[in-house]
């Protein structure tokens, strides 16, 4: 029960890595606030955690809108008294999510803006909303999901740029938080089996990651076991970023 009575808020928590992280945090004692753009899905996700004996609430949030982000943080504080952990997991490659596979120089500008806003701006806004409270508490962890493509680059240019930005944001937040006991960490996964097509992405280890492998690293970095870690980016990609992949 590493997270007994800790309060965690997560973006992109109705599915995928965000949902699995919320479930695992709740299993280890955290009270979790799940946020996502899709109201029915995030409400159902929170209800599932409650049905398993955890404590959770689901909130509809568009991470591009600071008023919605701030309101979710206020709800967490009003309901549970604090915010100890923020997990920024909302995001995705714009070309896939928006179903617009055009090359970057022909890509619809609205698609590019979606990619930058959801993958980077949303994380910055959530960090802004929680940081002041964490500084006042003298504790807190901001964990953000980047991607191996934030390290290697991506044909989806806005996605690669945003995920590289997440790494830089993490370092900057660590500088702001360190004097006050607030840590910031980043996890950059390679292919993860949250979607079947991920199995086709090559790695040096010859497979994609199981979602639990990524979440176990996330939980470690959010826990007191990692109390001396801040500002670091952890690449967990089966060796994909080593280079030379055909």
Whether 159 shows a pLDDT value over 90: the answer reads yes
Mean pLDDT over residues 40-60, rounded?
Answer: 98
Whether 246 shows a pLDDT value over 80: the answer reads no
Domain count within the chain: 1
Phi, psi of 205 (to 5 degrees): -85, 0
Under the banding of pLDDT at 50, 70 and 90, the label for residue 199 is confident
Residue 124 lies in a domain: yes
pLDDT at 243: 77
pLDDT at 197: 81
pLDDT at 184: 98
Q: Each residue of 96-150: pLDDT tens digit?
A: 999 999 999 999 999 999 999 999 999 999 999 999 999 999 999 999 999 999 9
The model carries a pTM of 0.95
Residue 245 lies in a domain: no
Q: Which domain does 212 fall in, by range?
A: 7-237
Residue 114 lies in a domain: yes
Residue 1 lies in a domain: no
CATH number at residue 111: 3.40.50.720
Give the residue numbers marked as catalytic.
Answer: 159
Residue by residue, DSSP assigns 112-162 as HHHHHIIIIIHHHHHHHHHHHHHHHHT-EEEEEE--THHHH--SSHHHHHH
- The percentage of residues in the chain with a pLDDT greater than 90, rounded to a whole number, is 95
Under the banding of pLDDT at 50, 70 and 90, the label for residue 201 is confident
Asked whether the beta carbons of 67 and 88 are under 8 A apart, the reply is no
* CA contacts within 13 A on the Cβ side of 125: 23
Residue 101 lies in a domain: yes
Residue 72 lies in a domain: yes
Residue 216 lies in a domain: yes
Residue 2 lies in a domain: no
* CA contacts within 13 A on the Cβ side of 144: 33
pLDDT at 70: 98
Mean pLDDT score of the chain: 96
């Amino acid at each position: 029960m590493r997270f007994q009575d800790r309060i965690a808020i997560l973006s992109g928590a109705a599915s995928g890595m965000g949902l699995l992280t919320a479930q695992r945090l709740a299993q280890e004692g955290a009270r979790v606030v799940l946020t996502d753009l899709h109201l029915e899905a995030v409400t159902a996700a929170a209800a599932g955690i409650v049905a398993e004996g955890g404590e959770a609430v689901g909130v509809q949030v568009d991470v591009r809108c600071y008023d919605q982000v701030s309101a979710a943080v206020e709800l967490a504080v009003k309901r549970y008294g604090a915010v100890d952990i923020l997990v920024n997991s909302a995001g995705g490659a714009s070309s896939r999510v928006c179903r617009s596979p055009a090359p970057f120089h022909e890509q619809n500008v609205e698609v590019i803006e979606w990619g930058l806003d959801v993958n980077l701006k949303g994380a910055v806004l959530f960090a802004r909303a929680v940081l002041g409270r964490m500084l006042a508490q003298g504790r807190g962890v901001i964990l953000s999901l980047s991607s191996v493509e934030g390290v290697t680059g991506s044909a989806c240019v806005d996605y690669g740029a945003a995920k590289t930005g997440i790494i830089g944001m993490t370092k900057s937040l660590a500088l702001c938080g360190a004097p006050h006991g607030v840590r910031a960490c980043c996890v950059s996964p390679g292919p993860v089996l949250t979607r079947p097509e991920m199995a086709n992405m090559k790695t040096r280890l010859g497979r994609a990651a199981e979602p639990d492998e990524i979440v176990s690293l996330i939980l470690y970095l959010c826990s007191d076991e990692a109390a001396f870690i801040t500002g670091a980016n952890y690449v967990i990609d089966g060796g994909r970023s080593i280079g030379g992949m055909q």
